Structure 1
C-alpha cells in the first residue's frame, strides 16, 4: 500500500504540492489524474525518494522508499524521464539492470515476454518506436517482481493496440494482488482501466474514490479542475 499524508513540496516561491493525502490499495489500479503542472510527477518523485518533501510523508507498506531493504524488489517505477543507451539491445539493457540489482538473468527473458518484446530482445534500442520504449521501461520496472508499480504516463506513444494491451496488463497486475498507481492524461482509458481515481490540481486533492462513483469520469474531471 502507498500512503501519502499531508505531503507538501515548495520550490522557491512555488508550492507544487500542498497538504496532499491519499492512499493506494493493493489489488486495484489507481489512476492519478490532473492537468499539466498539477503536481503529479512531483508527488510520484517524492513517493520514490527522488525529491524530499517540504513537509508530510509518503510511505510504501509503512516505510519510506529510502528505508526499504530491497527497493527494486519492492517497487517498480516508470517515470517520463526514463532513458536508454541507444546502442544497447533490449536484452543487454535489462541484463545490466538485473546484474546491478542482484537479480538472476533468467528474469530478463521473463519480463521481455511479459511485455511482448521477446521478439525484439536482440534489437538495438535506438531503433525502437516510442511505444516499444514504453514497454521496455515497464519490463525494467518488473525485473524485481515488485508488489508495487508506479507508472507515470505509461500510455504515451502507444498505438490503439498497445493501449488495449496496457489496459489488460495493468488489470492483470492488480488481480495478482499488486498495488498499481498510474498517472495519465488519457481519461477515456482510465475510465476503462482504473478501479479508483485520485484527482489533483494546483498540488491539492480535488477528489478520490472508486471510478464507478464518478459517472462520466471525463465530465467529472473537467468539472472539478475548472471549479
Structure 2
C-alpha cells in the first residue's frame, strides 16, 4: 500500500481545555490519503477529544482541523466526504439494521441502493431485518461501520472499531480497512491494541497527556512497541 502526498486530514496546533484540565495540548499532525494512520495513546491521552474536534463535535480552545482543506462544518454533503464511528451503541434498539440505515440514508439524500451495498460490505446481510437491540457488540460495530460507509466517503475516522469483535471479525476488519485505504481513501483509526495496529497501519501518531510524542511511518511491530513504550512511558 502506498500513501499519496494528498492530505486528507490536517490537525494544526490543536488544543482543548475543560476548565483546568488540558485534554489536548498544541497537537499537530496530518493524515494522508491511501494509507491507514493509527492514532495511539493510553486512556485519557486526548484521542477521542481530538477525533470529536476533527468532526466538529467539540469546539477547540485553540488551533483547528481541516478535511481536504476545509473544516468539517463547511463540507458540502459531509457524509459523502467523511464516515465516522465514535460510538457503536447509539442505535434505537427497536429498529432493524435496515430501518436504521434507511433513516440515515433519507436524511442525507443518498441512493437507496447504498443500503444493500454497505450491509454486504460489513457482512450483515443475514441480520439486516433483525432488531438492533438483539445485536452483539461486534454486530453493532459492523452496523456502525455500515452507517459510516453509506455516503461512500473518502475519509474514515474510527474510534476503537475492534471493540467487541471476535478474532474472525478482527481479521475481517483488518482486511477491509487495508483494502479501503488501498483504493486511495484515508483511514484514521484510534486504538490501544498494538498487536492489531502493527498488522494494519502504514503510519502512526502517538499521543500522551494530550501532546504529540511521535509521528511517522510504521515499518515493523517491534519498532512500534519500542516507540510506544518510549513515547508514553
Pairwise TM-score range, normalised by the shorter structure? over 0.9
- Is the partner of 1:182 in helix, strand or coil? strand
Supply the distance in 2 between the matched residues of 1:97 and 1:21 (Cα, whole angstroms): 32
Unaligned runs of 5+ in 2: 1-7
Are 2:129 and 1:122 aligned? yes
What is the deviation of 1:216? Answer: 3.2
Residues 80, 153 of structure 1: 8 Å contact kept: no
- Is the partner of 1:216 in helix, strand or coil? helix
Aligned pairs for 1:168-207 (under 5 A) are 168-207=175-214
Are 2:44 and 1:51 aligned? no
User: Among 134, 138, 142, which residue is 1:131 paired with?
Assistant: 138
Supply the distance in 1 between the matched residues of 2:25 and 2:228 (Cα, whole angstroms): 19
What is the deviation of 1:218? Answer: 2.1
Deviations 1:84-138 (A, max 9, x none): 0111000110001000000111110000000000111011101110000000000
Residues 85, 158 of structure 2: 8 Å contact kept: yes
Residues 214, 220 of structure 1: 8 Å contact kept: no
TM-score relative to the length of structure 1: 0.97
CA RMSD of aligned residues (A): 1.1
Aligned pairs for 1:75-86 (under 5 A) are 75-80=82-87, 82-86=89-93
- Is the partner of 1:219 in helix, strand or coil? helix
Deviates most, 72-81 or 200-209: 72-81
User: Among 70, 77, 87, which residue is 1:63 paired with?
Assistant: 70
Q: Runs of 4+ in structure 1 displaced over 3 angstroms?
A: 213-216
- For residue 4 of structure 1, what is the aligned residue in structure 2? 11
Supply the distance in 1 between the matched residues of 2:104 and 2:27 (Cα, whole angstroms): 33
Are 2:226 and 1:219 aligned? yes
Q: How many residues align?
A: 226
Supply the distance in 1 between the matched residues of 2:225 and 2:140 (Cα, whole angstroms): 28
Deviations 1:2-46 (A, max 9, x none): 000100001100110000000000000000000000000000000
Unaligned runs of 5+ in 1: none
Supply the distance in 2 between the matched residues of 1:220 and 1:27 (Cα, whole angstroms): 23
